[in-house]
């Protein structure tokens, strides 16, 4: 497969390659001087937890209340 670099240093990945990385927005880019390597970056574990809490409707106040309860301060 070929990919062409534009005058703005942009490269479009072929669909066959990009489709293997559905949901990936960022890639870690490295080079050894003769080749370019792209490694997909997934959201951090902290971001995954924050997103799940948001989906469940758990607020910061809920977490503070749970901590107080667990520490016997409620």
Range of the domain at 1: 1-42
Closest CA to 14 of 5, 4, 25, 3: 3
- Is residue 49 domain-shared with residue 74, that is, in the same domain? yes
- Is residue 47 domain-shared with residue 71, that is, in the same domain? yes
What pLDDT is recorded for position 14? Answer: 92
- Is residue 34 domain-shared with residue 53, that is, in the same domain? no
- Is residue 9 domain-shared with residue 29, that is, in the same domain? yes
What pLDDT is recorded for position 46? Answer: 83
Our count of domains for the chain comes to 2
Query: pTM of the predicted model, to two decimals?
Result: 0.52
What pLDDT is recorded for position 22? Answer: 86
In tens, the pLDDT along 21-57 reads 988 888 999 999 999 999 998 777 888 888 899 999 9
- Is residue 5 domain-shared with residue 28, that is, in the same domain? yes
- Is residue 73 domain-shared with residue 60, that is, in the same domain? yes
Q: Is residue 74 within 8 Å of residue 65, measured between CB atoms?
A: yes
Per-residue pLDDT at 9 exceeds 70: yes
Per-residue pLDDT at 74 exceeds 60: no
- Is residue 52 domain-shared with residue 69, that is, in the same domain? yes
């Amino acid at each position: 497969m070929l990919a062409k670099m534009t005058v703005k240093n942009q490269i479009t990945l072929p669909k066959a390659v990009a489709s293997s990385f559905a949901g990936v927005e960022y890639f870690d880019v490295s080079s050894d001087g003769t080749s370019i390597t792209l490694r997909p970056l997934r959201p951090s574990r902290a971001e995954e937890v924050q997103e799940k809490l948001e989906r469940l409707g758990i607020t910061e106040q809920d977490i503070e209340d749970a901590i107080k309860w667990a520490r016997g301060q409620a």
